[in-house]
Amino acid sequence: MLAAKKQSSGPLSGLTICLSGLTPSSKSLLRPLITSLGATYSKDLNVDLVTHLITNTEDSDKFRAAFRSKNEIHIVKEEWLNECVKTNKRVKEEHYGLDTLYGEEDIQDEQDEQDEQQDEQQDGGEEDGEGVEKDKGHGPQVR
DSSP secondary structure string for all residues of 51-67: -EEEES-S-SHHHHHHH
| 17 in Cβ contact with 34 (< 8 Å) | yes
Does some domain include residue 11? no
Looking at the structure of the chain, the number of domains it has is 1
Does some domain include residue 32? yes
Q: How confident is the model at residue 138 (pLDDT cuts 50, 70, 90)?
A: low
Most confident of the ranges 55-59, 111-115, 119-123 = 55-59
Does some domain include residue 34? yes
Alpha helices in 6-142 (DSSP H): 24-36, 61-68, 78-87, 104-121
CA–CA dist 72, 47 (Å, integer) = 9
Range(s) of the domain holding residue 68 = 16-99+130-142
pTM as predicted: 0.68
Does some domain include residue 23? yes
CA–CA dist 43, 67 (Å, integer) = 17
Does some domain include residue 44? yes
Q: How confident is the model at residue 98 (pLDDT cuts 50, 70, 90)?
A: confident
Tens of pLDDT, residue by residue over 30-85, are 999 999 999 999 999 999 999 999 999 999 999 999 999 999 999 999 999 999 99
- Helix (H) and strand (E) counts in the chain: 4, 7
CA–CA dist 60, 63 (Å, integer) = 5
CATH of the domain at 55: 3.40.50.10190
Does some domain include residue 9? no
Does some domain include residue 35? yes
Q: What rounded mean pLDDT belongs to the chain?
A: 79
Does some domain include residue 20? yes
Tens of pLDDT, residue by residue over 76-93, are 999 999 999 999 999 999
Q: What is the pLDDT of residue 80?
A: 97
